[in-house]
């Protein structure tokens, strides 16, 4: 593990990420997610995406073997004032572990050259245990 004890910003993200083969996004805000996505697009790096809020988790793999990137699905970040965050809504304690395991699984599939979630966006409702897959 290599620690980069700096805030990710547009001006330093590409420099930090260029040394890695795969980027795993567990960011907690949209601005940083889009900065990381844009750097991965510029660098040609696959991005394993995970997001949590309340009882819900989301997982996707962007920018790998012809798959689209975050901006193809959501062109612009939402206004942060319009979107609830974990401090307001909370998070079911098991959701980060489930989503993190799904992200690790997708990362391993990228490394092993197995079929991954290209152009698919998984939404997991941990309250009902229903999973939706959006093709985009």
- Domains of the chain, CATH where assigned: 10-135 (3.40.50.720)
Per-residue confidence (pLDDT) for residue 28, from 0 to 100: 85
Q: In Å, how far are 17, 56, 82, 101, 127 from 92, measured between CA atoms? A: 30, 8, 21, 15, 9
- pLDDT tens track, the chain, 136 positions: 788 899 999 999 999 999 999 999 988 889 999 999 999 999 999 999 999 999 999 999 999 998 999 999 999 988 877 887 777 778 889 999 999 999 999 999 999 999 888 899 999 999 999 999 999 8
The neighbour count for residue 116, using CB atoms within 10 Å, is 21
Per-residue confidence (pLDDT) for residue 79, from 0 to 100: 84
CA dihedral sign of residues 29, 131, 101, 93? positive
Per-residue confidence (pLDDT) for residue 123, from 0 to 100: 98
* pTM across the whole model: 0.90
DSSP 41: H
Per-residue confidence (pLDDT) for residue 98, from 0 to 100: 97
Per-residue confidence (pLDDT) for residue 106, from 0 to 100: 97
Residue 13 burial class via C-beta count within 10 angstroms: exposed 0-12, middle 13-18, buried 19 and up: buried
């Amino acid at each position: 593990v290599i620690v980069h004890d700096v805030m990710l910003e547009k001006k330093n993200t590409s420099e930090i990420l260029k040394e890695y083969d795969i980027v795993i996004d567990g960011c907690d805000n949209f601005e940083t997610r889009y900065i990381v996505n844009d750097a991965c697009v510029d660098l040609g790096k696959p991005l394993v995406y995970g997001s949590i809020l309340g009882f819900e988790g989301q997982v996707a793999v962007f920018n790998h073997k012809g798959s689209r990137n975050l901006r193809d699905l959501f062109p612009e970040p939402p206004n942060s004032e319009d979107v609830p965050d974990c401090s307001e809504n909370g998070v079911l304690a098991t959701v980060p572990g489930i989503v993190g395991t799904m992200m690790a699984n997708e990362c391993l599939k990228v490394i092993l050259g197995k079929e991954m979630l290209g152009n698919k966006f998984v939404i997991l409702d941990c309250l009902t245990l229903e999973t939706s897959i959006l093709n985009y």
